[in-house]
A and B are shown apart, each in its own frame.
Chain A
Amino acid sequence: MKYIDEFQDPDLARRLLDEIRSTVTRPWALMEVCGGQTHTIIRHGIDQLLPDEVELIHGPGCPVCVTPLEVIDKALAIASRPGVIFCSFGDMLRVPGTDRDLFQVRSEGGDVRVVYSPLDALRVAQQNPDREVVFFGIGFETTAPPNAMTVYQARKLGIPNFSLLVSHVRVPPAIDAIMRSPSCRVQAFLAAGHVCSVMGTGEYPDLAERYEVPIVVTGFEPLDILEGVRRTVLQLERGEHTVDNAYPRAVRPEGNPAARAMLADVFEVTDRSWRGIGVIPDSGWRLSPRYREYDAEHRFSVTGIDTREPAACRSGEVLQGLLKPHECEAFGTSCTPRTPLGATMVSSEGACAAYYLYRRLDLTPAAASDSLEGSAVV
């Protein structure tokens, strides 16, 4: 039980675990939607601390991982153009495209820059009026409002040389798609806390009712995860299926109204392809017609790209919770963080990266048992 001593409040962690153990009477499969939660779970060995009846399935909530290969290839094509400054969050740089990544484009002379905020990219555009500045706008409902505000600012300030390569995704349609799948084993969801801090909880009651699944809004710290699991198991054991907020310090029912209003102004809902999963109806945003001139895909012709997924990569199954990362034949052999086949091994929120970073590669039951009793996961 060494892990528990590393929790911020070990006594509270023990109490939560005891309560979960005394509540559970049969097997349940819970999906944590967010990649940040997956990393907390694996880093702290929460999945191994929980009773055997509670299985955590890792969901598709890593924005880097679900960005389709064709969008990565478009980013690489745009970033390679003379006169373009391509700005991105740092974790997109090593995501492999069909034949290279953004790091390689940079080493070949492309002007690829890492920014902390999309507003930094807008400043680069102001400082370089003779260049075209493109920002790689990926992410879920947490990241979309900052990107929306940046496009709004570009228009307000009259900055013509800025555009956005957009690949934003929305969580509720993904939950819907997972529940519709014939192979779905998920019986409850730990919803992503920071997505809900923007969107609130209003999109979830319909899903909880339609599929009779509890949806518990959950934070990212180890104790948040345990509390989310505790509330979820309580509902499952009682046969309930409601939306519950276990992260009230950051999530209000209405979310952030100003951010939601900006999203509605700048973006419109569209069908979006998820890497490894395919097209999910209404699961993304694109720039609305009023802002189409800031769409990098309209500004640059990026067609005719030959996109080829690596055959050995099974990240699509990992993203749908159908396969645990270490069950993939390539895991830890031909696929490592230094030589990744897919984004789930590269991204700081990817499930494969979490397993590689915090677990031994040998996860036989005996090894897992040793790990639980002996060395710390962190």
Chain B
Amino acid sequence: MCLAVPGRVLDIEDRDGTRMATVDFGGVVKEVCLEYLPDLRVGEYAIVHVGFALQRLDEESARRTLELFETLGLLQEEFGDPLEAQQ
């Protein structure tokens, strides 16, 4: 849960007055709230924690971290559903 994962912004839209983005985490796509990084743009990378972009990140750092997390299986750990795993 404490893991924060870098992701790349694919698309941005306003929903109910809230700035939301579609973000790609090395193949896993999630909705992310941009209210704490309102000037983040499509194509940029950010550190995302529990569905919120918290800090901008340069592309190279983001790619390296994502590759490492993928290798270690941490992306599955973060985005997988333990209820499904249990069944």
Contact = CB atoms under 8 A, between A and B. Distances in A.
Interface stretch (A68-76, A78-86, A136-144): A136-144
A93 interface: yes
A103 interface: yes
A149 B33 contact: yes
B55 A256 contact: yes
Contacts, number: 117
Chain B CB count within 10 A is highest, among A61, A93, A103, A146, for A146
A63 B2 contact: yes
Nearest to A146: B52
B47 A146 contact: no
A120 B50 CA distance: 10
A198 B1 contact: no
Interface residues of B, number: 36
B68 A197 contact: no
A9 B50 CA distance: 29
Contacts of B52: 117, 145-146, 149
Interface in A143-174: 143, 145-146, 149, 153, 156-157
Given A156-B17, A378-B72, A35 B36 contact: no
Contacts of A114: 81-83
A145 B37 CA distance: 12
A194 B49 contact: yes
Contacts of A179: none
Given A116-B79, A119-B33, A149-B36, A143 B51 contact: no
A221 interface: yes
Interface in B1-43: 1-4, 16-18, 30-31, 33, 35-38
Interface string A227-262: 000000000000000000000011110001011001
B54 A221 contact: no
A206 interface: no
B50 A35 contact: no
A198 B37 CA distance: 11
Given A89-B50, A90-B81, A221-B68, A143 B55 contact: no
Given A43-B72, A117-B51, A259-B54, A143 B36 contact: no
Contacts of A117: 30-31, 33, 50-52
A246 B4 CA distance: 17
Given A156-B17, A157-B16, A119 B51 contact: yes
B84 to A, nearest CB: 9
Given A117-B52, A140-B2, A143-B49, A103 B86 contact: yes
A313 interface: no
Contacts of A143: 1-2, 49-50
A35 B55 contact: no
A103 B72 CA distance: 26
Interface of B: 1-4, 16-18, 30-31, 33, 35-38, 47, 49-52, 54-55, 57-58, 61, 64-65, 67-68, 72, 77, 79-83, 86
Interface of A: 8, 34-36, 43, 61-64, 89-94, 103, 106, 113-114, 116-120, 139-140, 142-143, 145-146, 149, 153, 156-157, 194, 197-198, 221, 249-252, 256, 258-259, 262, 348-349, 378
17 contacts: A61-B2, A62-B2, A63-B1, A89-B1, A90-B83, A114-B82, A117-B50, A117-B51, A117-B52, A118-B51, A143-B1, A145-B52, A153-B18, A250-B57, A251-B55, A256-B54, A349-B1
Given A93-B82, A106-B83, A348-B3, 13 more contacts: A8-B64, A8-B67, A36-B3, A62-B2, A93-B83, A117-B31, A117-B50, A142-B54, A146-B33, A146-B50, A149-B33, A348-B1, A378-B72
